[in-house]
């Protein structure tokens, strides 16, 4: 198993982190995770744009441009002979004696990337999942894809302990998103999802599903909605790089709709799967 370490390729065992790396000490860094189908990176441009935005928001300069990063990620796929799976990569502000403020001298940021091989359709839940509704205790810049994920980790763990696949989070009764995914609801044929502001991560899958909805003629409203609206929705689903479109059939004790995946969720998942198949054979 080969990993990417800055501009080099190493065996996994050689990928070591400095104890004073700011990513390790403060979560001072950013990341991306994307899916590989048939040896190719899916929705690559959108992921790279989001990475550049995250870097700008944290005033973190990338070690090299995204074109070169894409070349390296391609090489990582080939070196590992991976056809299907995930690539995860992150960039921290680098290692230096611990101080909260940014270092005065220029230090090198640290980029690491690794792969996880899976099957083509791994992590999909076409039959639907149960989730829990939990408080969103995260900070107010959820739009940046940073390494600081404790609010997500704690909620995801609590959901797991409740026998749920994930949590849908809310701030004072306003639904934001999942711990690893975006949340959508359907009411009277209208697809509703939280606007892409600083309360949510603008998921690449969210963007793609909104495009699919437009193409399918499904009306969309990007607006906030309450937990009460969520619990009385006709359909609810989650979107993420891993799950694509995951219908939610139960939230805690409450069944959603008839407790089976709804028609709009199914249409979007089918359309998504069709796009993946097209991408594979292109
Ligand atoms: N929200 C959060 C909090 C996430 O961690 C993720 C997954 N990275 C998403 C949404 C979905 O983003 P994407 O569709 O880009 O995987």
* Cβ within 8 Å of residue 194, ≥6 positions away: 174, 175, 176, 177, 182, 183, 200, 222, 223, 224, 225
Tens digit of pLDDT for each residue in 69-87?
999 999 999 999 999 999 9
Note whether 39 and 79 are within 8 A (CB): no
pLDDT given at position 192:
99
229, 187 in Cβ contact below 8 A?
A: yes
Residue having the nearest C-alpha atom to atom 13 of ligand 1:
203
ipTM, interface predicted TM-score of the complex:
0.99
What was the pLDDT predicted at 260? Answer: 98
Provide the residue-wise pLDDT of the chain in tens; the chain has 282 residues. 999 999 999 999 999 999 999 999 999 999 999 999 999 999 999 999 999 999 999 999 999 999 999 999 999 999 999 999 999 999 999 999 999 999 999 999 999 999 999 999 999 999 999 999 999 999 999 999 999 999 999 999 999 999 999 999 999 999 999 999 999 999 999 999 999 999 999 999 999 999 999 999 999 999 999 999 999 999 999 999 999 999 999 999 999 999 999 999 999 999 999 999 999 999
> Whole-structure pTM over 0.90, yes or no?
yes
Name the residue of 240, 244, 246 whose CB sits within 8 Å of the most ligand 1 atoms, as the mutation to test its pocket: 240
CB 236 within 8 A of CB 247: yes
Query: Are 261 and 222 in contact, with CB atoms under 8 Å apart?
Result: no
For residue 32, the model assigns a pLDDT of 99
In the three-class reduction of DSSP (H, G, I as helix; E, B as strand; rest coil), residue 264 is classed as: helix
HSE-up of 133 (CA within 13 Å, CB side)?
Answer: 20
Report the nearest-CA residue for atom 1 of ligand 1: 181
Domain range 2-117, its CATH number among 3.40.1350.10, 3.30.360.10, 3.30.70.120, 3.30.470.10: 3.30.470.10
Q: Two tokens at 76?
A: 């990582």
Indicate which atom in ligand 1 lies nearest the CA of residue 179: 3
110-117 β-sheet, strand order: 8-11, 2-5, 110-117, 85-92, 29-37, 40-41
Catalytic center residues: 145
Query: For residue 180, how far is its CA from the centre of ligand 1 (angstroms)?
Result: 5
CA 201 / ligand 1 centre spacing (Å): 6
Q: 145: CA distance to ligand 1 center in Å?
A: 8
129-281 classified as CATH 3.20.10.10 = yes
Spatial neighbors of 65 by CB under 8 A, at least 6 apart, are none
- For the chain, the domains span 2-117, 129-281
Per-residue pLDDT at 137: 98
Q: Determine whether 241 is exposed, middle or buried from the number of CB atoms within 10 Å of its CB (0-12, 13-18, 19+).
A: buried
Question: Which residues sit with their C-beta closer than 6 Å to ligand 1?
Answer: 33, 152, 177, 180-182, 201, 203-206, 239-241
* Token duo for residue 219: 């009306």
């Amino acid at each position: 198993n080969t990993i990417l370490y800055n501009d080099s390729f190493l065996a996994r065992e050689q990928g070591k982190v400095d104890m004073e790396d700011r990513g390790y000490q403060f979560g001072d860094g950013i990341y991306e995770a994307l899916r590989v189908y048939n040896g190719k990176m899916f929705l690559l441009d959108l992921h790279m744009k989001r990475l550049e935005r995250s870097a700008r928001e944290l005033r973190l300069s990338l070690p090299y441009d995204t074109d070169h990063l894409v070349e390296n990620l391609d090489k990582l796929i080939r070196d590992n002979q991976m056809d299907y799976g995930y690539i995860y990569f992150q960039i921290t502000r680098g290692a230096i004696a611990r101080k909260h403020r940014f270092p005065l001298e220029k230090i090198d940021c640290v980029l690491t990337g690794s792969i996880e091989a899976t099957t083509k359709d791994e992590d999909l839940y076409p039959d639907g999942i149960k989730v829990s509704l939990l408080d969103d205790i995260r900070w107010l810049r959820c739009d940046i894809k940073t390494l600081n994920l404790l609010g997500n980790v704690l909620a995801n763990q609590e959901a797991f302990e409740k026998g749920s696949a994930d949590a849908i989070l809310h701030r004072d009764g306003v639904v934001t998103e999942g711990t690893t995914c975006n949340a959508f609801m359907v009411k009277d044929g209208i697809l509703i999802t939280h606007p892409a502001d600083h309360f949510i991560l603008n998921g690449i899958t969210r963007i793609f599903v909104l495009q699919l909805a437009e193409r399918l003629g499904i009306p969309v409203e990007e607006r906030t909605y309450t937990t009460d609206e969520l619990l009385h929705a006709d359909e609810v689903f989650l979107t993420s790089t891993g799950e694509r479109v995951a219908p939610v059939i139960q939230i805690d004790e409450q069944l959603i709709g008839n407790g089976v995946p709804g028609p709009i969720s199914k249409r979007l998942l089918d359309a998504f799967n069709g796009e993946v198949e097209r991408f594979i054979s292109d």
